[in-house]
Amino acid sequence: MADSGTWRLSNPPVIGWVLYDFANTIFSFVVVTRYFGDWIVDERGHPDIYIGLMTAAVSVALVIALPAIGARVDRRARHKPVLIGFTLLSVAATALLGVVEPVLIALVVGGIATFAFNTADSQYHPLLGVVAPQERRGRVSGIAVAVGYLGTLTALFAIGAMVDDGEAQRAFIPAALLFGLFALPCFFLVRERRAPPPPGELPKRGPFAELAASLRRARGAPHGRLLLARFLYVDAIATVIQFLVVYARRTGEFDGTRIDALLAVSTVASIAGAIGAGLAAERVGAKRVIIATLVVTIAALVGAAVSGAGAALWVAGPLVGAALGSLSSVDRVLMLRLIPAESRGEDFGLYAIAGKLSTGFGPLVLWGGTILVLTEFAGLSKFDASRVAVAVLAGSALAGLLVLRPLRDPSVPDVTH
């Protein structure tokens, strides 16, 4: 635990922890968002379902593995060994993607890289409780998320300058090098000093038993309500971000240049949202920031769906970007307030699972399923079906808000009742 009396924002552990956010967004952008799917589907000519099956397999593996890994972390009271080991595995697998040729092997290696990335990330978040005292976690988390978006911009421009159209595989080795390089400060500068619990206090179980025990403990607990709410609102916002380009093109008012400008403005808004929300959480509490963020997000999505005008995206896009930055910086702060230090590894495993499952459910069911049903059976155009899908996503964000609202933030007096 960081000592409030000697703590400074410029402390080496804080800098190391923040730079890891920069590192992992480079992987996320290059492998998850930009180049892997482009390489397999567009350049190698294989169907989209290949990527979907790989993603589903990784999700299942994470659901089974993360609670057991988290429980092991809690027994040893050390997050860094898992963080370091799985980060290095992800870096190695990402570099290997730059040289493999058979598509089946590439899918397996990509799955390993993604699994390792998510496992390391699940033990990165609880280290916020190590590098910052409770009253300063909001600003540190917000700065880290903002620096992470700078990692996205770095990958976009630096790696993008090295990769021509039709050569997506060339992105993976530079991404691995940058990912590993900027992860190193966290490995060396963050120190864990928490004593492990007495032997036998945390029972050893198999992976399925650990998952069942984690879910039983979360059910009815305050952090369980947050995890359910997080599933619903991340489901909505991550899906909007993923299909923002598709929706913009369907309005008929955006060419490539205007889309790039929209994405750039939305990314800058994400940086501002992350920093502003982190500071606000220290003043009014993390829960109130999340609620306010969701209210603005729902209004923006409903407005875009009802108007159907391309101009509305210049408002909705940046607002949703700011919401993504805000929620990324604040909900992990609230999670830390709701769980005991001795179960952070296990509970942040569930936190990672909720995020991973939601980013699969939203694109497949809420967006893809809505558009499929409305175009195939209701006869709507893809654009009109997309407007309905945006409204459905607003409904998911509203459901998350309603689930979260009764939760009491232990850091502030509860004024919601």
Q: If we measure between CA atoms, which residue out of 415, 410, 414 comes closest to residue 223?
A: 410
* pLDDT band at residue 367 under the 50/70/90 scheme: confident
As a whole number, mean pLDDT of residues 265-293 equals 93
Task: Give the pLDDT band of residue 208 (cuts 50, 70, 90).
Answer: low
The predicted model scores a pTM of 0.80
| Predicted pLDDT at 416 | 42
Question: Rg of the chain's alpha carbons, rounded to an integer?
Answer: 21
Q: What is the pLDDT of residues 224-238, one digit of tens each?
A: 999 999 999 988 888
What is the distance, to the nearest Å, from the Cα of residue 214 to the centroid of all Cα atoms in its chain? 21
Can you give the pLDDT at residue 34? 77
Percent of the chain with pLDDT over 70: 93
pLDDT at 413 over 60: no
Given a contact cutoff of 8 angstroms between Cβ atoms, the answer to whether 107 and 50 are in contact is: yes
Which residue shows structure tokens 């993504």?
Answer: 324
pLDDT reported for residue 415: 42
Amino acid at 198: P
145 against 341, higher pLDDT? 145
Cα(408)–Cα(383) distance, integer angstroms:
40
What does the chain come to in residues?
417
Can 13-186 and 211-408 be said to share one CATH topology? yes
% of residues, the chain, pLDDT over 90: 47
Q: What is the amino acid identity at position 397?
A: A
**Averaged pLDDT for residues 52-63:** 83
pLDDT of residue 195: 58
Q: Is the pLDDT of residue 2 over 70?
A: no
Integer Cα distance of 127 and 125 in angstroms: 5
| Extents of the domains making up the chain | 13-186, 211-408
Max Cα distance, the chain (Å): 65
Residue 364 clears pLDDT 60, i.e. is over it: yes
Q: Pick the residue with more confidence: 197 or 25?
A: 25
Residue 130 confidence (pLDDT) above 60: yes
Give, in degrees to the nearest 5, the angle at Cα 152 between 151 and 158.
Answer: 80
| 304-322 residue pLDDT tens | 999 988 899 999 999 999 9
Instruction: Determine the topology of domain 211-408 in CATH.
Output: Growth Hormone; Chain: A; (1.20.1250)
Residues 6+ apart with CB under 8 A from 163: 35, 170, 171
What is the fold, at CATH topology level, of the domain defined by 13-186? Answer: Growth Hormone; Chain: A; (1.20.1250)
For 6-10, 289-293, 311-315, which range has the lowest pLDDT when averaged over its residues? 6-10
Enumerate the H helices of 251-381 as residue ranges: 256-284, 286-307, 313-338, 344-361, 370-376
